[in-house]
A and B are shown apart, each in its own frame.
Chain A
Amino acid sequence: MEDKYSKYKKSVHGIYRLIIILWCFIGIITVMGVYIMVDPTLSAFRSQAPQETLVAIPEEDDYDKIEDGIHVRTGFIAAPGLMETINNCTNCHSSKLVIQNRMDKERWVATIRWMQETQNLWDLGENEAIIVDYLVENYPLEKMGRRKNLSAIEWYALRD
């Protein structure tokens, strides 16, 4: 009888232990599963030190920052038509190429046609007039005659 009881007690104990182990096991798997869902590459277990040298990425809100009336990223003057000009005129070449040129409306349009015919520029649609107005307004022709005075001279004392 006693023997039977202790046998029974033992097997209950055994089952009880099994259940605990099973639960622990399930618990561990759950924790691991949840972790893998969160971090599938197990990156937390890898060395982190070299990651510190990644490229600095400008804050999203600074991307189109304007300072002193200049769109910082491109150097364009901030005025109506700025974004249309950036979006259509800086894909192939730099804004620097636009800024250093001075043309009237007719010649800007001719330049756009040339780019459309030979340089893969797309049809600008309604933006064409906006862009041409922006360029003529903000980068006007200067009257400079047959030869300008020398300017922006940085004077310095010349010693031998």
Chain B
Amino acid sequence: MERRKFIGRAALAALSGAMGAEIVFGKSLPNGYIPLGLQNPDPFKMFNKDNQMVLLNDKPWNMEAQAHLLDDKVTPNKYIFIRNNGLVPESIDVKNWTLTIGGESVAKEKTYSLAELKSKFKQYTYQLTLECGGNGRAEFNPPTKGNQWTIGAVFCAKWTGIRLRDVLEDAGIKNDAVYIGYHAIDEHLSRDPKKAPISRGAPMAKALQDETLLAFKMNGADIPLVHGYPLRLVAGGWPASVSGKWVQRISIRNKVHDGAKMTGDSYKVPCNPVAPEEKVNEKDMCIIESMPVKSLITHPKTGAMILKGKKLDIRGHAWAGELEVAKMEYSIDFGATWNQCPIEKPANRLAWQHFSAQVDFPKKGYYEIWCRATDAQGISQPMLIPGWNPKGYLNNACQRIAIKVT
């Protein structure tokens, strides 16, 4: 037998093993075609991401932006962070895709095709800020477990879809409804079909908001596969894990949804503040709802060197979960003094807001520009890392960029 042939066949077997599944019809794979799961993948190409994005994890896929990549007012796909708890679906049967509204508190379980959803309900477009609950985890001390996100697990894209409320009301909501939970097609990392990688949700009040969408489109095009094609929940201002991808079922629950990553310490913080490393019982952990106030300087990129006497233009975005950002400030002296700068109104509720300023430096040397947003209730970003919590959520400390004046 020819050696190459043998290697080819053995490789197929070995690779099947590596994928944890037999490659059905492996023999009839087109020559030169490498199955998705085997590609020693250039994830940046595979997911159409800019190669300045930072890969944190390749199983499951997790990737974040850097601050300067998020300069656009509406974030293009190439700079949008990727967060997965499970495996990205390998194929989507979009023709037969259905959404079922069920659960204890639905008046009558009802199933819709994608075409029905698109034609039966009015469509809306909103810019919505989505931030991973664990964005900033890398700075907690002592470290907390999970993907070590720095600052780039946030974006604001333009989402088009139908209001979740319209569909829930069409199926009928019973009076005892408390929560919704989503169910999606992504597989658990162990490929155990009985396990869902993630099935989270939101209280009815959030589910019924105008801006809570079942989205078909992101930035005017089909949602990219890795971001939830063909149907995704989008609940702006809340941990992005509420915005379930690849949604096929929504349960209207008569209690707080108890799907995967709703229990234990996932997406929860201590109800009362704790000392670093303190153990917290499950009953003393509260589910994260609205994300805290936060901001990013997206221009210039950290590390800029400018000549003395030149003014520096800075700009960026600020957001505040369910609230609006009311005030924006920056400091060039490590928080000793603050300068207020204008902040634009949001394009719509739950969209991030833009700020800009011209910065003067008194003399040569090393500077850090810190930015600090304040929300409509007067709550600002802390300059140090906020309260430690067991899973390292909600770090909204002031972002810092380094500048040298020469």
- Show the binding face of A for B, using Cβ within 8 Å: 38-39, 43-44, 50-51, 53-55, 57, 92-94, 96-97, 100-104, 107, 111, 114, 118-120, 141-148, 150, 153-158, 160
Contact with A along B300-313 (1 / 0, CB 8 A): 11111110000011
Query: Are A51 and B8 closer than 8 Å at their CB atoms?
Result: yes
Chain A's interface: helix, strand, loop or mixed, by majority? Answer: loop
Select one of B5, B31, B400 contacting A150, CB under 8 A: B400
Please measure, in the bound complex, the distance between the C-alpha atom of A157 and the C-alpha atom of B146, giving whole angstroms.
Answer: 36
Q: B11 to A57, Cβ gap below 8 A?
A: yes
Is residue B177 contacting chain A, with contact meaning CB distance below 8 A?
Answer: no
Chain A nearest CB from B371 CB (Å) reads: 14
Q: Report if B189 contacts A (CB, 8 A).
A: yes
**Contact A100:B147 (CB < 8 A) given known A93-B189, A119-B189, A154-B303:** yes
Given A93-B57, A94-B58, A118-B264, A156 contacting B305 (CB threshold 8 A): yes
Known: A54-B11, A146-B384. A111 touches B145 (CB 8 A): yes
Return the chain B residue nearest A120 by Cβ.
B190
What B residues does A50 contact at CB under 8 A?
31-32
Q: Which residues of B pack against A, CB within 8 Å?
A: 1-2, 4-5, 7-8, 11, 14-15, 31-32, 34, 38, 55-60, 139, 141-143, 145-148, 188-190, 192, 195, 264, 300-306, 312-313, 368, 383-385, 397, 400, 402, 404
Q: Are the CB atoms of B385 and A102 closer together than 8 Å? A: no
The CA of A148 and the CA of B368, in the complex, are separated in Å by: 13
Q: Are B303 and A155 in contact (CB under 8 A)?
A: yes
State A119–B195 Cα separation when bound (angstroms).
Answer: 8
Contact B190 A119 (CB under 8 A): yes
B305 contacts A158, CB within 8 Å? yes
> Complex Cα distance A39/B146, Å?
52
A103–B383 Cα gap in the complex (Å)? Answer: 25
Asked if B7 and A147 sit within 8 Å, CB to CB, the answer is no
Contacts of B402 in A (CB 8 A): 150, 153
Q: List, in ascending order, chain A residues with CB within 8 A of B192's CB.
A: 120
The answer on a CB contact under 8 Å between A103 and B145 is yes
Specify the chain A residue showing the minimal Cβ separation from B260: A118
Q: Can you name 7 extra interface pairs (CB under 8 A) apart from A93-B189, A147-B383?
A: A51-B8, A54-B32, A144-B139, A144-B141, A146-B385, A155-B303, A158-B304
